[in-house]
């Protein structure tokens, strides 16, 4: 393990999480101006066997995948293979059905296209057939006028953006991540893990204390009246027909033995929730991104420019997105307004901050009952900024 003395506060926070029983196994990594300054890990990777968390232990990081998938698409845009402002139907003609002809690729990246739910239950046999799930979405009508609102496309984001990528290149997101990002940059990061990686991946444990992912209280609407945000979320969580539950529950990982620990999920490489990575690999992705090794600096600057802000029709909290990247909001709590990245359900998080030269990755296996992030990750990120 390594921790630059300037970041001793980070190590104190990391170790306290274990002392206080908040962590089972976890890893945290930070690069500053391209140099590794924090690389910590500890605990157990599998509570059933006692297998220790080691330097190279990867973990399933849920929606941290979305930023990686966005980067793949933006690489294609830089090469002139995709026009982000053009209709999706230009490269995927079937998508124009049911009044979707004007939906642009940007609408997909910013959660504005109105397709947060796969309406028909996806059979387990299709879990590794992303094109088949995308075809289901192509046959649906949007739930709101595209571009008029945004709502987190928890799982469908990946099947939609992934299908655009497949139509243009003939390859999956996972194949392109391996060839264009992970291998060239030497990153321990897989969107669709091979069996050798699955065998050493940390085993997730469900959270024990309910969290909303934020300490949000009443929010003020455009009419000036307050909203009981936590009450709305609680009601939505209990309603199986709420947009939140429908967006999060199909395809349903819970239908497989072990849920997200099942090799089917780890191998499938869903482009919205499929990355298996070490903290070092996730931080390294953001290091390469802000260094200009994956995208041109002007491309990244435009991509992290907020396109949508405010109430999210699925998560109900305020969210903010650029082109596939989260920006600071109630679901991506950051000490700096210049940070961007993506969190994952249960607590994992990846962060880049071009202004401060920071790249951060956090993965763990004791999940919080949170849609986005958790207090452990936030404390660690705050400790990094406090150390600067």
User: Which tokens hold the place of 114?
Assistant: 């109105």
User: Do residues 9 and 385 touch, judged by C-beta distance below 8 A?
Assistant: no
* CB atoms inside a 10 Å sphere around CB 47: 15
User: Which tokens hold the place of 32?
Assistant: 């500053």
Question: How many whole angstroms separate alpha carbon 73 and alpha carbon 76?
Answer: 5
User: Do residues 120 and 140 touch, judged by C-beta distance below 8 A?
Assistant: no
Across-strand partners of 309?
A: 320
Kindly calculate the radius of gyration of the chain based on its CA atoms and give it in whole angstroms.
19
User: Do residues 33 and 290 touch, judged by C-beta distance below 8 A?
Assistant: no
Note the helical H segments in 210-337: 229-238, 243-248, 263-268, 279-290, 297-303
Of the candidates 30, 31, 36, which has an alpha carbon nearest to the alpha carbon of residue 10?
30
Catalytic (active site) residue 63: yes
Catalytic residue, chosen from 63, 172, 343, 372, is 63
Query: CA distances (Å), 121 to each of 124, 230, 256, in order?
Result: 9, 29, 14
User: Which tokens hold the place of 44?
Assistant: 């157990």
Question: How many whole angstroms separate alpha carbon 163 and alpha carbon 73?
Answer: 11
User: With helix as H, strand as E and coil as C, how does 53-73 read?
Assistant: CCCCCCEECHHHHHHHHHHHH
Q: For tokens 């309603």, what's the residue?
A: 239
Query: CA distances (Å), 36 to each of 18, 290, 341, 354, in order?
Result: 23, 14, 18, 16
Question: How many whole angstroms separate alpha carbon 353 and alpha carbon 6?
Answer: 18
* CB atoms inside a 10 Å sphere around CB 22: 17
- How do strand 226-227 and strand 219-220 relate by DSSP bridges? antiparallel
The total number of residues written for the chain in this structure: 388
User: Do residues 105 and 86 touch, judged by C-beta distance below 8 A?
Assistant: yes
User: Do residues 70 and 294 touch, judged by C-beta distance below 8 A?
Assistant: no
Show which residues are catalytic: 63
């Amino acid at each position: 393990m390594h921790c630059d003395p300037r970041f001793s506060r980070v190590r104190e926070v990391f170790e306290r999480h274990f002392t206080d029983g908040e962590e089972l196994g976890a890893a945290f990594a930070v690069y500053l101006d391209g140099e590794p300054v924090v690389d910590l890990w500890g605990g157990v990777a599998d509570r059933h066997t006692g297998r220790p968390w080691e330097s190279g232990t990867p973990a399933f990081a849920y929606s941290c995948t979305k930023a990686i998938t966005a980067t793949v698409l933006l690489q294609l845009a830089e090469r002139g293979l995709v026009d982000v402002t053009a209709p999706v139907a230009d490269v995927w003609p079937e998508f124009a059905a049911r009044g979707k002809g004007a939906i642009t690729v940007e609408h997909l990246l910013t959660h504005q296209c109105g397709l947060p739910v796969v309406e028909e239950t996806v059979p387990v046999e299709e879990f590794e057939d992303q094109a088949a799930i995308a075809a289901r979405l192509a046959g649906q009508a949007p739930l709101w006028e595209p571009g008029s609102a945004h709502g987190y496309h928890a799982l469908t984001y990946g099947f939609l953006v992934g299908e655009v990528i497949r139509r243009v290149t003939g390859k999956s997101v996972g194949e392109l991540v391996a060839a264009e990002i992970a291998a060239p940059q030497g990153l321990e990061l897989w969107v669709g893990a091979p069996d050798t990686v699955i065998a050493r991946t940390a085993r997730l444990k469900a959270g024990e204390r309910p969290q909303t992912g934020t300490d949000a209280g009443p929010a003020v609407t455009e009419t000036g009246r307050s909203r009981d945000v936590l009450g709305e979320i609680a009601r939505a969580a209990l309603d199986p027909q709420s947009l939140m539950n429908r967006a999060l529950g199909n395809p349903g990982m819970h239908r497989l033995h072990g849920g997200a620990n099942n090799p089917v999920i780890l191998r499938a490489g869903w482009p919205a929730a499929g990355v298996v990575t070490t903290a070092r690999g996730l931080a390294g992705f953001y290091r390469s991104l802000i260094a200009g090794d994956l995208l041109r600096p002007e491309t990244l600057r435009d991509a992290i420019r907020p396109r949508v802000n405010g109430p999210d029709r699925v998560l109900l909290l305020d969210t903010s997105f650029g082109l596939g990247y989260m920006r600071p909001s109630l679901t991506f709590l950051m000490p700096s307004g210049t940070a961007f990245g993506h969190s994952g359900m249960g607590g994992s998080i990846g962060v880049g901050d071009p202004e401060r030269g920071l790249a951060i990755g956090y993965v763990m296996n004791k999940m919080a009952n949170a849609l986005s992030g958790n207090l452990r990750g936030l404390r660690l990120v705050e400790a990094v900024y406090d150390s600067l």
